Chain A
Amino acid sequence: MLTTIEAGLYSTVQDAGRLGATHLGVRRAGAADALALATANVLVGDPVGAPALEMTLLGGTFEVGAACLVGIAGADMEAHIAPAGRPLHPGHSYWLAEGDTLVFGAAIDGARTYLALAGGIAAQVVFESASTDPIARFGGIDGRPLQPGDVLAAPFVERRDERTWPGAVASSGVASEVGPRHLLVVAGPHIGALPDGVRDWLSDSGWTVTPRSDRVGLRLDGTAFPEADLLELVSQPMLPGAVQVPPNGLPIVLMPDAPTIGGYPVPAVIAEVDRPTAGQLRPGDEIRFDWLELADARARARQRAEGLATIASGPW
């Protein structure tokens, strides 16, 4: 059990997302880096989609009220136990003792860190999901970001051992090398209706993630698509991962809290395997889009899911 001393920049309880109420206008929410969520959960022996705490850029500080096993994945926020300073790393789970103070700092790579509790963080479940919806103000902890005083607790589970993620397997969308992040994209539903140059426009040049980026969308800077103000469509369903072209011609990558309906054309959709990468992008990051055939995209997503299931089932 953890009591929040400092909440961090923007910390919310997220699970795999809320899929059953989209037709009512309820946004899907869920972890921006679903791979890191899965890793943190597997490290504490929970199902890959269990509710965990998603912290953004600057993490929180927590008082440990009762001994518990926690898992950490995603960006490295140089977590440690105060005051002794024992360091905690993403890709590991740790037993914390009553009286410990768990401190997360600023992310030194990536954007988001996931903190899982063995047993799953107890949170408000609405439409079969514990993800936080700040518009509807439900899910998670009263549908809002974490505040000092909030308690993160899990139902009692049997004692589980600490685990270390196998080094050779990707554990999150955090980039392992320097340089522009490459994001695989598949053709979007409107590509046939857009001018011919849109494919090359998207993949030929680099894009910069602007500070106007959040869980609703990544707003990118770069070479604007010409006459994009003429392209608006009648409002239609949207999906996180969609790359939209708004009237100013600069792409927006939709993120989990994006509205369910939109009117900007979608020439591309981030491949499922690279959505965790999108969830770890920070303002100032340079990115490039690379086209992928849909069949390949499905094959890669299936391989990733099967790999995760194999790791989860052990042995540990």
Chain B
Amino acid sequence: MTTMTPSIEPFGEGAYLITLGHEVDEGVNARVHSLAARLDAAAQDIDGMASCVPAYASLLVPFDPRLVDAAMLADRIRELVEDPVPSDEAVLGRDIEIPVRYGGEDGPDLADVADRVGLSADAVVDLHAGTSYRVFMLGFAPGFAYLGPLPPPLRLPRRAEPRLRVPAGSVAIAAAQTAVYPHVTAGGWNLLGRTDIQLWDPDAPEPAALRPGDRVLFVPS
């Protein structure tokens, strides 16, 4: 992993984008979430600050420039970025098991993926289910968690043509990532299986079932 100087760039009038790295890396991601937690805590008493939006190696800090001095905010962000604090994640991240029905109608791309990576379908399932994955971030759709890193033998690109309709609960892979689609959406990832676990409930106190820092294990069922 190459270390880079963090950058803080404006993203339009009302946000800063903090970039800590350019790769999918667990250590960098831990620093992103630690920074997000500290910024959210500091923002609680300030009018005009909204929650930060974390990603793999970057963080968006939205604000209302009519209520918050942009230059002062940039300075404060830089102070926090340059003074990293160890993360509490090892303590707070949960271990979560997700039962999956692999292949058949539930996993229409399993055979094709096996072909393309040169393994049997069973070997693909063993590899996918054989390791636990970090939740790196939520995005794309409510409760959609980006999980990884995927074992190298399973890494292949998105499908050439996205599907217009991916069933809810579909378990998918693309590049170094794996994910579960919480809702019916269009989608271009390769579908290996399906789960009945509900990953999104807007009425629950915590609507998203998965949090950044959690570790997920898929269990063939």
Residues of A within 8 A of B (CB): 19-27, 126-127, 133, 135-138, 186-190, 192, 233-237, 239, 241-242, 259-261, 266, 269-272, 294, 297-298, 301-302, 305
Contact = CB atoms under 8 A, between A and B. Distances in A.
B183 to A, nearest CB: 6
24 contacts: A23-B51, A23-B53, A24-B142, A25-B138, A25-B143, A135-B142, A136-B200, A190-B9, A234-B21, A234-B24, A234-B58, A235-B56, A235-B146, A236-B17, A236-B58, A237-B53, A242-B12, A259-B140, A259-B141, A261-B146, A298-B13, A298-B70, A301-B65, A305-B66
B18 to A, nearest CB: 10
A198 to B, nearest CB: 15
B101 to A, nearest CB: 24
B208 interface: yes
A-B pairs, top 5 by smallest CB distance, nearest first, are A261-B139, A237-B60, A189-B9, A269-B12, A189-B17
B50 A19 contact: yes
B12 A241 contact: yes
A236 B55 CA distance: 5
B22 A137 contact: no
A25 B139 contact: yes
Interface residues of B, number: 44
Given A22-B62, A234-B55, A294-B10, 20 more contacts: A25-B141, A27-B141, A127-B202, A133-B142, A136-B142, A138-B202, A186-B10, A189-B9, A189-B11, A234-B57, A236-B17, A236-B57, A236-B60, A237-B11, A237-B60, A239-B15, A259-B139, A266-B11, A298-B13, A301-B13
Interface string B7-48: 001111111010101111000000000001000000000000
Contact of B13 (A24, A190, A261, A272): A272
Interface string B161-201: 00000000000000000000001010000000000000010
Nearest to B11: A189
B118 interface: no
Contacts of B52: 23
A73 to B, nearest CB: 22
Given A23-B54, A25-B143, A136-B183, A234 B13 contact: no
A252 to B, nearest CB: 15
Contact of A234 (B17, B23, B183, B200): B23
Nearest to A133: B142
B102 interface: no
Contacts of A297: 13
A37 B11 CA distance: 24
Contacts of A192: 9
A242 B183 contact: no
Contacts of A19: 50, 62
Interface in B54-89: 54-60, 62, 65-66, 70
A237 B17 contact: yes
A271 B58 CA distance: 22
A237 B12 CA distance: 13
Contacts of B51: 20, 22-23
Contacts of A138: 202
